[in-house]
Structure 1
């Protein structure tokens, strides 16, 4: 996994939560709403600072900032601002819950969130989800997804991937041989072996495994997965491979897909830009331009509009 992580959003200097709370109140008080002031302030503060603003708003103005924002904003613009006001792990839990509520299940969102996170984040998501919704995440997942795909996701959520940076070259060779024996070297596929290795090894370890696999078989792991798997399980395994190779490139690809073709997948667009803004969004921007020969900002400009567009561009530093 690429270790370069360059965010777009940083903590504001000379930060004053009380002053910011007053600014937001003024932007929403009286007739009309100053959307520009809301965008400029919220997109230029870190999430930790936004939580302090929320507390100051309630303590000093005796009002609920989230409720005030909901009453003044609407549509995708509201979704971006409320996403930015949620603590990061809590936001991902809400997105997981939304992907499983109502008619149908958004498997792509489940894959993107759970297959791209290291073990420490997965553990936080699991504990936060249960405290938010009073039910285990794995139980909810098992009600909404099934089959071989469900088994992989369950392993990711309950099995605990090895800690970041954990590597064992000898084990990598053994795992590569096990993957080859479970797939290309036999008639049919032993999904259990693929699931076990892909769900438990650290991303750094998987990188070694994939190198060993190519040396052993003459094929890339992507070629093997394409040959052996289909559907959601295929997509999840490929996501793990792509995240292992380069997390920014993986998210750049997901953003491109969200804006490609007829209509825009606003949920994915918002989720990735918001959730990666303080982690590696600058790196994602670079990968997007390298892969698609256009800037991420120009793509967002052409596929979104109004205050929604301005909020996203604020996060992108455009």
Structure 2
């Protein structure tokens, strides 16, 4: 057995997103006792020696590997679910995990159609015997609560009609709130919340356009310090940019497990809707195809499943 080559293959199998099960079976399954000892000695990121020179699994790495092995299963389960149930369960998980993943609630509230969001709210009620609004209000404290309750409660007009004068006026309203962010949080401003939670996406995209024409910057560029407001503006006005950003960050090896979950979530939830637009935007932003990036980063059955979903037209 060419140990050097096999070490490299096994290391790759354990690296990145997902686990290359086929390589593990082929190499470890056919290895001899002494070869496995050499593997343990040659992979200090997986095994460590105690004071008696006994090679043992790195406990932190074992916990990480458990999550990696679960990625394929989780992706398949989410894909098989009714989209309403899927969104309801994603909201529930975000509420359990805490503030670092509350952006998932913004994502669902602002990138689904009115009927899809209403369906998710119905599914949540059926699954958990509470309303989404009730649980968001109960579990989220501080200034975010008011905005998120309004967003998950929305039922927006989805037609093409837009009043350009109103859009220009509301661009000014948002600018005023953003400029005064040092004294008052924009997401606690009643007018900001009214605009973001009631206006149609077509109208908000017009607001977005006028804002840049008037002030020379995109709204999301001017609210970097306010993550929830930035996520809301991107999801409502340029959702493909938002999803591309989530995918790019989730494909990094040095991010936490909750961030990595964004890869599964975005691909599974968008494969039937706007994946082609997301792929185009991703390529424009990062200069590489999404499929190539996944192919270079993910492993095994998980990689194959994601690439199958990305290739759907």
Tell me the TM-score normalized by structure 2. 0.68
Distance 2:90 2:181 in 1: 39
Contact conserved, 1:198 with 1:237, CA < 8 A, in 2?
Answer: no
The alpha-carbon deviation at position 240 of structure 1 amounts to 2.8
3-state SS of 1:273 partner: helix
Structure 1 residues 289 and 145: CA distance shift in structure 2, 3 A: same
Listed one character per residue, the Cα deviations across residues 91-136 of structure 1 (whole Å, up to 9, x for unaligned) are 1111111222367762132222223223332222112211111111
Match of 2:56 in 1: none
Who wins on radius of gyration, i.e. which is larger? 2
Distance 1:164 1:237 in 2: 24
Shifted more, 146-155 versus 205-214: the winner is 205-214
The alpha-carbon deviation at position 173 of structure 1 amounts to 2.7
Q: Does 1:155 align with 2:153?
A: no
Match of 1:193 in 2: 191
Contact conserved, 1:116 with 1:240, CA < 8 A, in 2?
Answer: no
Structure 1 residues 251-266: aligned runs within 5 Å? 251-263=243-255, 265-266=259-260
3-state SS of 1:161 partner: coil
Q: Does 1:309 align with 2:309?
A: no
Contact conserved, 1:118 with 1:164, CA < 8 A, in 2?
Answer: no
Structure 1 residues 102 and 181: CA distance shift in structure 2, 3 A: closer
Structure 1 residues 239-254: aligned runs within 5 Å? 239-254=231-246
Contact conserved, 2:110 with 2:236, CA < 8 A, in 1?
Answer: no
Structure 1 residues 104 and 289: CA distance shift in structure 2, 3 A: closer
Contact conserved, 2:204 with 2:237, CA < 8 A, in 1?
Answer: no
The alpha-carbon deviation at position 223 of structure 1 amounts to 4.1
Q: Does 1:213 align with 2:205?
A: no
The alpha-carbon deviation at position 270 of structure 1 amounts to 0.8
The alpha-carbon deviation at position 225 of structure 1 amounts to 2.5
Structure 1 residues 256 and 239: CA distance shift in structure 2, 3 A: same
Distance 2:121 2:236 in 1: 22
How many residues in Structure 1 have an aligned counterpart in Structure 2? 241
Structure 1 residues 186 and 149: CA distance shift in structure 2, 3 A: closer
Match of 1:100 in 2: 95
3-state SS of 1:162 partner: coil
3-state SS of 1:195 partner: helix
Q: Does 1:90 align with 2:85?
A: yes
3-state SS of 1:101 partner: helix
Structure 1 residues 224 and 307: CA distance shift in structure 2, 3 A: closer
Choose from 259, 268, 274 the match for 1:274.
268
Shifted more, 163-172 versus 281-290: the winner is 163-172
* Structure 1: gaps spanning 5 or more residues: 1-34, 37-73
* Structure 2: gaps spanning 5 or more residues: 1-20, 23-68
The alpha-carbon deviation at position 164 of structure 1 amounts to 4.5
RMSD (Å), alpha carbons: 2.7
Q: Does 1:287 align with 2:285?
A: no
Tell me the TM-score normalized by structure 1. 0.67
The alpha-carbon deviation at position 279 of structure 1 amounts to 0.6
Greater RCO (Cα-Cα under 8 Å, separation 6 or more): 1
Structure 1 residues 146 and 174: CA distance shift in structure 2, 3 A: same
Distance 2:114 2:209 in 1: 22
3-state SS of 1:182 partner: helix
